[in-house]
Structure 1
């Protein structure tokens, strides 16, 4: 596959070059990747992108064409270009598994490598997880609204490019969709490809009923006929009823059959269509709906009694309508000095931009009686978390607020898992396993967090040791600043 070394911002290469000249490009560092705010005004985010991320890392190198281009800029020395020509990632990456429900402020990815590796790869790593987690989250919001109804992703033609459509389709599956119209995604990721017909098929015939009859000659299963090319209730549904009766008389009516409506008042049309099918002795006919749907419109249609049980969602999912980007960031949390780990943090006048120092772990706590999520804890590596001991959480911004968990009342698990070890990717779960895991994750989330409007916000806790470390570093930095002035 094509090398990915140029999938970065220019300043990342220029900073790496400056460090190279100083002989500091091989210094060991740890970076954290997290985000600060849930997209869509929601109560959670769904992790996606690790398969793409490992592919990106595996191909992160500079081929002859890349080096020739960098040489043409007239900025970099031949020695540096030679270094880039032999560049490979040899570090470790830990990440929260795909399909995991996560919250602002906690680590989704922990990167161990050299300063050069971190700087050169930061942009691509962030881009991939930002985009695919955003799509998976949008898809999951739609899934929470439709319940057990069928969901098909068909946004490829509206996606911002081939890659966005490809990986977005995979992310939608992690978010709860049943299949995609994207044939490349079906082939690449072994996910179901679904589809009915377009208006162009119906308009290729003089009469709609002829289009239907010819279609069913080719496709004998999953017969969903597009009924809104001319008039849903006066032409589309009556023609569909005629064709289904003909198939029934021949003993060829499949278990899955029905119509798709792609325009007009979907609530009214679906209810009338269902009535007509039932009166015609076809009560099992499926009513599928599409036409710029999103979670809000689907929820409204359901409240109006729409009889749609299969939804085709394109533009609003694949473009993550409502949130243009997931604001994930990649920040240094530790570096090695004289063979020792030195925790570091960003200190800002904007409190929400202050980062958490040190090498950290993330633990998730569940109620033992019903398996529901309680909270997450970010702590320093090496802190012992045990289910047979009481745990007390202290809110960093309001230390008088404390939450007590009694020993034996909860279960706990670490969220960060090895993704790449010494430059080699670990084996990832199959997409079917990821989908099952994602569904299980959502089942542990209280419904208050899944509301579309004004959801509850999960509090991510910092351990007392981590809070103290932050205070120590801030105090030291302030003391050094005053000393200099």
Structure 2
């Protein structure tokens, strides 16, 4: 299936009409999140790299026309104006890893109207899903307070492709590894994993399972100790590790029950066995809220494996995002619908100290002490610079988090900074609103 046809039908009907009406002048669309989800003090911009890959190879071919015609139940000849359409526009965007706030454009596309319209759906699904997951993972990093995190989400994400995205996004915000082998090799992320309860159950005893696992994997090992009774499992793991002379780099994993209480008991047992350098890893339905509680309660847990709730961004699985036309053929436009009013014109976001952000027109000069967030990443349908790296995105994320106000970093009841509109943007909005309201009142 072509990526071109992975779109909503109305994108096709509008693009076809634009072409037949010869409406090919440049149009600017702005992609932004109207409001942050509950429980979020910020969002992490993500999905730009795959979006640029998509735009770089976008071209409507013969097979795409056949699919469009079948969906519209019309002769393929009717769709002929779309044939050969490719993306040759400009993209200005916030680089991956930057923190963004409500109302701030993540991306702006300027291209001939049919092109800019036809790519809407794919861009939205890429940036919305990935920004949501990256933001959830980022909060886990904050909750862990420097303790390593591993992505265990693949088996519970909404399909293998989402699992690949989740592993990449977790690495982008600082996770130490992933259980996803394909993602580990593709993105250069350390692979991490232990064993399942089924492995332990397949042997006659827990001890036999641990010894067999250590024979196959003679390096540092991690034993899953809660298949039957956690305290006995820890004692068995300690005995096997001692007998085999294993210690540094090894760990036991707790996957169920009261993780805080069990971690304290496990730490006591391991220390008593002279295994103070054996770590404790916790998993099992964790996200930033669970990790935060365990850290604040002083649980002796060295690393956390998080999966389902992070890979699906469970408490905020979607973003109230929009891709709105803000200018066509040099004419600023806006939407006036109740609760969905948009601001006209191409924009820039200027970030001041302490996240005192100003949403301004794209051609404005930055306020003193601030810097622009959106940069030109594609011109004439071609990237303006080499593909970004996870390392660069992670560095941007770490710098932005460091500068984020403490109340926005909170896991419970965060308070996000509120950007303001520039004087010029506010004035243009008032002028365009007046023009549109006058027109709609005319007889």
Instruction: Report the TM-score when normalising by structure 1.
Output: 0.87
CA distance in 1, matches of 2:219, 2:74: 61
Q: CA deviation at 1:173?
A: 1.7
* Cα 1:74–1:364 shift into 2, 3 Å: closer
* Cα 1:119–1:80 shift into 2, 3 Å: farther
Instruction: Say if 2:441 is the partner of 1:448.
Output: no
Partner in structure 2 of residue 321 of structure 1: 314
Q: CA deviation at 1:325?
A: 0.4
- Of 332, 352, 357, 1:365 maps to 352
CA distance in 2, matches of 1:184, 1:421: 32
CA distance in 1, matches of 2:247, 2:267: 18
CA distance in 2, matches of 1:273, 1:310: 14
Partner in structure 2 of residue 205 of structure 1: 203
CA distance in 2, matches of 1:173, 1:40: 24
Partner in structure 1 of residue 126 of structure 2: 128
CA distance in 2, matches of 1:154, 1:445: 28
Kindly indicate whether the alpha-carbon contact (under 8 Å) linking 1:42 and 1:453 is maintained by their aligned counterparts in 2: no
Instruction: Say if 2:313 is the partner of 1:281.
Output: no
- Of 218, 221, 224, 1:223 maps to 221
CA distance in 1, matches of 2:38, 2:171: 19
List per-residue Cα deviations over 1:347-369 (Å, max 9, x = no partner).
Answer: 1232xx21111122111112xxx
Instruction: Say if 2:342 is the partner of 1:355.
Output: yes
List per-residue Cα deviations over 1:104-149 (Å, max 9, x = no partner).
Answer: 0111101101111121100000110000000000001111111111
Partner in structure 2 of residue 390 of structure 1: none
Partner in structure 1 of residue 47 of structure 2: 49
Kindly indicate whether the alpha-carbon contact (under 8 Å) linking 1:361 and 1:378 is maintained by their aligned counterparts in 2: yes
Partner in structure 1 of residue 298 of structure 2: 305
Q: CA deviation at 1:175?
A: 2.8
Instruction: Say if 2:440 is the partner of 1:459.
Output: no
Partner in structure 1 of residue 363 of structure 2: 382
CA distance in 2, matches of 1:119, 1:74: 18
CA distance in 2, matches of 1:95, 1:81: 31
CA distance in 1, matches of 2:297, 2:5: 51
- Of 29, 32, 39, 1:31 maps to 29
* Cα 1:476–1:348 shift into 2, 3 Å: same
- Of 367, 371, 391, 1:413 maps to 371
Give structure 2 stretches of 5+ with no counterpart.
none
Partner in structure 2 of residue 296 of structure 1: 289
Kindly indicate whether the alpha-carbon contact (under 8 Å) linking 1:67 and 1:81 is maintained by their aligned counterparts in 2: yes
CA distance in 2, matches of 1:454, 1:263: 27
* Cα 1:61–1:313 shift into 2, 3 Å: same
- Of 241, 245, 249, 2:242 maps to 245
Mapping of residues 57-68 of structure 1, within 5 Å: 57-68=55-66
Instruction: Report the TM-score when normalising by structure 2.
Output: 0.95
Instruction: Say if 2:394 is the partner of 1:435.
Output: yes
Residue 5 of structure 1 aligns to a residue whose secondary structure is helix
Partner in structure 2 of residue 422 of structure 1: 380
Q: CA deviation at 1:61?
A: 2.6
Give structure 1 stretches of 5+ with no counterpart.
367-372, 388-410
Count of residues in correspondence between the two structures: 442
Partner in structure 2 of residue 72 of structure 1: 70
CA distance in 1, matches of 2:71, 2:207: 63
CA distance in 2, matches of 1:446, 1:238: 45
Partner in structure 1 of residue 155 of structure 2: 157
CA distance in 2, matches of 1:34, 1:228: 45
List per-residue Cα deviations over 1:367-416 (Å, max 9, x = no partner).
Answer: xxxxxx241111112222253xxxxxxxxxxxxxxxxxxxxxxx321101
List per-residue Cα deviations over 1:426-449 (Å, max 9, x = no partner).
Answer: 313211221122112111111111
Kindly indicate whether the alpha-carbon contact (under 8 Å) linking 2:254 and 2:283 is maintained by their aligned counterparts in 1: yes
CA distance in 1, matches of 2:199, 2:84: 53
CA distance in 2, matches of 1:480, 1:63: 40
CA distance in 2, matches of 1:320, 1:381: 32
Q: Please, which moves more after superposition, 62-71 or 374-383?
A: 62-71
Residue 5 of structure 2 aligns to a residue whose secondary structure is coil
RMSD: 1.7
Kindly indicate whether the alpha-carbon contact (under 8 Å) linking 2:98 and 2:397 is maintained by their aligned counterparts in 1: yes
CA distance in 2, matches of 1:413, 1:221: 49
Partner in structure 1 of residue 105 of structure 2: 107
